[in-house]
A = this chain, B = another copy of it.
């Protein structure tokens, strides 16, 4: 289990996602309400895009709990961005906790984060690796199922070419998901996929809630869109939900405002131009 938040829209201070809301991502690191366990204390990561400087986003991650990392609080306080990923981790193998295994994973301009589990990953790993391009194989630095899945997605994205729009990203994600589903069906047929994830290039993104198990067993995922997400006098909320300008996808609602909507089971949302471009069923 993990928890994450993705943001696309008007420049926002990271603190408005990570520390300020009543149920901020840091709050979810020790008091998750919709996960199986309240605790996501095995590391964290934030990614923010700075397109005026570089296509590859900045990243800060660590193995300490998010709640007591002074550097994370500092960075959240002074960094703004139009595209943000933030993730808190509950490790499957707690004694192999390593910064290299902390989400989001970043390769060039692509970022990826995942909450869930590829059941039977140990049984499919050799086959999955054997399918990867040399470039993707070489770029895996950690041991998580998530980073391996990201490598599959990157190979599929390469097939879409350099100018992939959000529809192309969605296609690549669907093909990657299908590849992993087939590997599990072949090598670990009794296992299930649990894939809540976001994939972005800093401009377009796809957000997915998916499981091959009973849909009720999938993790939670919520979306909130409007003109702007603001924190004033200790209260955070999306304002002017009629107009677009900002969209948040989050494992759990960050705040008490009414705009949060649950993802349908087994659905994908395509995000572009700071709003939902399209939704589809997987």
Q: Interface of A with B (CB < 8 Å)?
A: 13, 30, 38-39, 41-42, 48, 50, 53-54, 57-65, 67-71, 73-75, 77-80, 91, 94-100, 122, 125-126, 129-130, 134, 137-138, 141, 143
A61 touches B71 (CB 8 A): yes
B98 touches A78 (CB 8 A): no
- Point out the residues of chain B lying under 8 angstroms from A61, CB to CB: 71
- Partner of A94 from the list B42, B67, B79, B98 (CB cut-off 8 Å) is B67
A148 to chain B, nearest CB (A): 13
- Point out the residues of chain B lying under 8 angstroms from A59, CB to CB: 71, 74
B74 touches A58 (CB 8 A): yes
| A143–B143 alpha-carbon span in the complex (Å) | 9
Each complex incorporates copies of this chain amounting to 4
- Point out the residues of chain B lying under 8 angstroms from A64, CB to CB: 63-64, 97
Given contacts A39-B30, A41-B30, A141-B143, contact A95 B73 (CB under 8 A): yes
A54 touches B68 (CB 8 A): no
- Point out the residues of chain B lying under 8 angstroms from A50, CB to CB: 78
B60 touches A42 (CB 8 A): no
- Point out the residues of chain B lying under 8 angstroms from A143, CB to CB: 100, 141
A150 to chain B, nearest CB (A): 16
A43 to chain B, nearest CB (A): 9
- Point out the residues of chain B lying under 8 angstroms from A42, CB to CB: 65, 68
A95 touches B78 (CB 8 A): no
Given contacts A126-B137, A138-B122, contact A53 B80 (CB under 8 A): yes
- Other CB < 8 Å A-B pairs besides A30-B41, A50-B78, A126-B137, 6 of them? A48-B78, A53-B80, A60-B60, A60-B71, A62-B71, A122-B138
A147 to chain B, nearest CB (A): 12
- Partner of A53 from the list B62, B78, B96, B122 (CB cut-off 8 Å) is B78
Top 10 closest pairs, chain A to chain B, by CB: A58-B78, A68-B94, A70-B95, A68-B97, A50-B78, A98-B98, A98-B100, A60-B71, A59-B74, A41-B41
- Point out the residues of chain B lying under 8 angstroms from A38, CB to CB: 38
- Point out the residues of chain B lying under 8 angstroms from A53, CB to CB: 13, 77-78, 80
- Partner of A70 from the list B65, B79, B96 (CB cut-off 8 Å) is B96
B60 touches A74 (CB 8 A): yes
